[in-house]
Amino acid sequence: MEHCTPLPFRIGNGYDVHQLADGLPLILCGVSIPHTRGCVAHSDGDVAIHALCDALLGAIAAGDIGKHFPDTSAEFKGIDSRILLRRVVELVQQSGYQIANVDLTIALQRPKVRPYIDAMRACLAEDLHIPLDCISVKATTTEKLGFVGKEEGVATYASILLYR
């Protein structure tokens, strides 16, 4: 079958991981978080926005973030991931769908993300053009287990729903 049945909804999920290293900035959902370690990345390393971009692209079956913004391209070196997110939102708008809601889970052992959640949601609301109560950002540790627990990396899971 070439085309899927045109339902008024599309679902998307995204997942991203970045390695943490000493002395790098830690930016999550567009918010700079004071910490001794940050993400190793070609861009600004905003793992949460990367997972969100993949969820949005997944929902419109438009590939993934690496296809649209290759990490081999000088154009994207050190880029603010919010710029990438805004470009992805444009693609979603062109597809004829609108964003219903977003739910993110950031897995990070340290530092505590909770104090920054409201600022993160505000950043995403601005870029996604949807109300704050349609945006959920959650954080969890992994109880010191695995690469997140050992503070070697940070991961984010993203779910989104589109409608028209």
How far apart CA 55 and CA 160 sit, in angstroms, is 6
- Residue 94's φ and ψ, nearest 5 degrees, are -65, -25
For Mg ion, give the closer residue by CB, 19 or 98.
Answer: 19
Which of 10, 50, 82, 121 lies at the binding interface for Mg ion (CB under 5 A)? Answer: 50
> Smallest gap, in angstroms, from Cβ of residue 51 to Mg ion?
8
For Mg ion, give the closer residue by CB, 97 or 120.
Answer: 120
Which of 16, 44, 54, 127 lies at the binding interface for Mg ion (CB under 5 A)? Answer: 16
User: Which part of the chain contacts Mg ion (CB under 5 A), choosing from 8-16, 27-35, 54-62, 78-86?
Assistant: 8-16
> Smallest gap, in angstroms, from Cβ of residue 127 to Mg ion?
16
For Mg ion, give the closer residue by CB, 37 or 50.
Answer: 50
How far apart CA 155 and CA 157 sit, in angstroms, is 7
Kind and range of the H or E element at 82?
A: helix 81-94
Task: Look up residue 42 and give its DSSP letter.
Answer: S
**64 and 88 in contact (C-beta within 8 Å)?**
no
**53 and 47 in contact (C-beta within 8 Å)?**
no
Of 106-135, which residues contact Mg ion (CB under 5 A)?
Answer: none
The angle, 0 to 180 degrees and rounded to 10, between the axes of the packed helices 81-94 and 47-59 is: 10
User: Which part of the chain contacts Mg ion (CB under 5 A), choosing from 13-21, 28-36, 53-61, 103-111?
Assistant: 13-21
- Residue position matching structure tokens 């940070």: 154
> Smallest gap, in angstroms, from Cβ of residue 16 to Mg ion?
4
Residues binding Mg ion (CB under 5 A): 16, 50
